[in-house]
Amino acid sequence: MSTPARRRLLRDLKRISSDPPTGIIANPDANDLLVWHAVIFGPEDTPWEGGTFKLRLQFLEEYPNRPPVVKFVTKLFHPNIYSDGAICLDILANQWSPIYDVSAILASIQSLLTDPNPNSPANVEAAKLYVENRREYDRKVAEVIEQLWKLEEAEKREDGDSDEDDEEDDEEDAEAAEDEEEPKEDADAAPRKKQKISETEAKHSNAPQQTQPAAETAASAAAASAAASSSPAAAQ
């Protein structure tokens, strides 16, 4: 179903695909154009450098007249980000304007990472550290980045182990299949062997053999010859 919001989002997609902001990736969900998934990479030469931060954007049918609901999926330590990932940013609230598109929204959030507003805190601890102890604040941010790295490495290892397990399972299945085929071949060979034996026996049974009447005839002929030799006519 084509609606003004969906048509506008298609234009946003075309723009961000052809001219993406530096360090930002965004695409709509495969099953719902109103849901977008984005990734913001931490800007270089900042405490956020090296970080990969995932976001979810939920648009309404009233877009662009109303802003989307944007949340970080990645857990962050930041003055303007709530514990549930919600973002305290004026353009997503009272300063929203229909001229903002997906690229502008994500670029503003990326800028917020390195230029927070501690006067409107969503995380009081982070805002206080940012104002009073910037070094400790930067250390906390670095801890978050390090934890993200470790999590990503663990996920990669799990994916690698899963692939190895799948390969081992495939090999075991192949070996089991071979073992099942061999007895089948033996089972097939047994009837064939039995059939050959039956055929050989049939050939022997059909071969010409000397019958008992023929033997008796030969014995009678021999006896008659002997009798003729011993008769008086033969003696004369």
Establish if 205 belongs to a structural domain: no
Residue 154 has pLDDT above 80, yes or no: yes
Establish if 136 belongs to a structural domain: yes
| pLDDT at res. 25 | 97
Instruction: Supply the mean pLDDT for the chain.
Output: 83
| pLDDT at res. 157 | 84
152 falls in which pLDDT band (50, 70, 90)? confident
Which range of residues forms the domain containing residue 18? 4-143
Residue 164 has pLDDT above 50, yes or no: yes
Number of domains forming the structure of the chain = 1
Residue 229 has pLDDT above 70, yes or no: no
74 falls in which pLDDT band (50, 70, 90)? very high
Instruction: List residues bridging with 155 in a β-sheet.
Output: none
The predicted model scores a pTM of 0.68
| pLDDT at res. 38 | 98
Residue 215 has pLDDT above 50, yes or no: no
Establish if 93 belongs to a structural domain: yes
| pLDDT at res. 14 | 97
Establish if 10 belongs to a structural domain: yes
Helix (H), strand (E) counts: the chain: 6, 4
158 falls in which pLDDT band (50, 70, 90)? confident
Establish if 80 belongs to a structural domain: yes
Please tell me the distance from the alpha carbon of residue 189 to that of residue 186, in angstroms, as a whole number. 5
CATH of residue 82's domain is 3.10.110.10
Catalytic residues: 88
Distances (CA, A) of 206 to 104, 193, 198, 200, 203: 98, 20, 12, 10, 5
Establish if 214 belongs to a structural domain: no
Establish if 154 belongs to a structural domain: no
Establish if 221 belongs to a structural domain: no
